[in-house]
Structure 1
Amino acid sequence: MRLLRLVSEYIRLYLGLGVLGAICLSWTPLALLAYPLLSPRAGRRLGRWVIGAGFRIYLGFLTLTGACRFDLRALDELAGQGPMILAPNHPCLLDALMIVSRLPDVACIMKAALIRNVFLGAGARLARYIRNEPILAMVRSAIDDLRAGQQLLIFPEGTRSSALPVGPFQKGLALIASRAGVPVQTLFIETDSAYLSKGWPLFRRPAMPIHYRVRLGRRFDPPSDCERFTAELQAYFVAELATRPPLPRHSA
């Protein structure tokens, strides 16, 4: 039985990675063609809709195979609530996928290297996702999207958590929220596995199924003091994540 479970988990791992790669690559040539043909507004709407749909299909596949279980219902409350910054913790590589699968019409700040990535780059450019560098251009683009009524996804740590419960927070989120005059809605991503956390090899097998849950936290008003707000936000995340019990492990 243990050998069968081991083989099953490896099959689900590689199938999951293959399906994600196939979804991204199948959209890449179409996104490349659409980018010069569509207006920025039309391209953004189409690009974000397709990315959201693709991620929903991918998470549905992980659920169907028994690799993962997702509870993302809390995110549905944010649809149509107007411009705000969505600020989640960042335990693993699946975090943005989970959020965008339920809230596709959000602006995302991405690492510049991912914008150039063969799997993600063409779709991200069509969707008008925002490069994280240069910093001033990133801030201006983020403010423009918020003032146009969009919601903006920013991970306060800037990368996956380098320490538990969270790593150091960056000041960019506070600066954007202050200049755009929008609130900051905190999100807490909880899991019972370290799968795809910082330092986890892509092809290392986790115990399955992995459980993920997203819950809403406090909504902060636009900050007036960016440095103080960044420290307050990090302290809030540490208190929330350190005192709440982790998701219990479940058997398949």
Structure 2
Amino acid sequence: MKLSLQMISKSFDENLVLNNVSFHVNNGEFVTLLGPSGSGKSTLFHLIGGMMSPDEGTIYLNGENVNGKRGLISYMPQQHSLLPWRTVLQNVVFGQEFSKKPDLEKAREWLNKVGLGSYEKSYPYQLSGGMKQRVAFIRALMSPQPFMCFDEPFSALDEFTRADMQQWLLSIWEQDRRSILFVTHSIDEAIFMSDRIYILSARPATVLKEIQIAFPRPRGKELMLSNEFLTYKRDIYESLQRTKGELVLNENH
């Protein structure tokens, strides 16, 4: 599933948030948007998800104009957004209930793969933060839409849990290889996770730079200590510094 944004602009009242933003995500790619706080990353997700329409420009999904069209992507927000009155299993299949009969067998299979098989009857309050994020990811994975958007899904986790979740998400994604658009404030996270990174300017956001991450997959945590990783980090930091925005230089923020 390929996503393409062409010359997207969006304003709220007199406040220009996005200014001629263009980028793409190829089929099976993991692409990250990286930029300062308030640069319009979440607004881009709202546009891609059809919750609002751009003032100018076009969003294409597999060549189809999807401006203002909802229900075409799977979305994982910053918070897990699990429904507290539903069990883990019921939360996982929630997205399927709107389009088809829930596939409980597949849901149980995924829960077993991520080590949560024994928690299918548990409720969200009984889970740790990392476990809740795993459930939220499997829910997104179980949704029928082939394109996935992640809006800082690990930002609320502590440093060590966050590092484990990054590794875990990549290991699961390797089995599925859906197209992913990922948003983060963390330079380390962007480099470690991505095939490509788009650096956004401060508001009004435009694309400053595209960076291809050449590390092979699968990737291990030791990658973050390599000279090549630090070279990418320095390059991205210098680009972001020019935006005069808020930066996160590592996972501990």
- The TM tier, using the shorter chain, reads 0.3 to 0.5
Structure 1-normalised TM-score? Answer: 0.42
Structure 2-normalised TM-score? Answer: 0.42
Pick the structure with more helix per residue.
Answer: 1
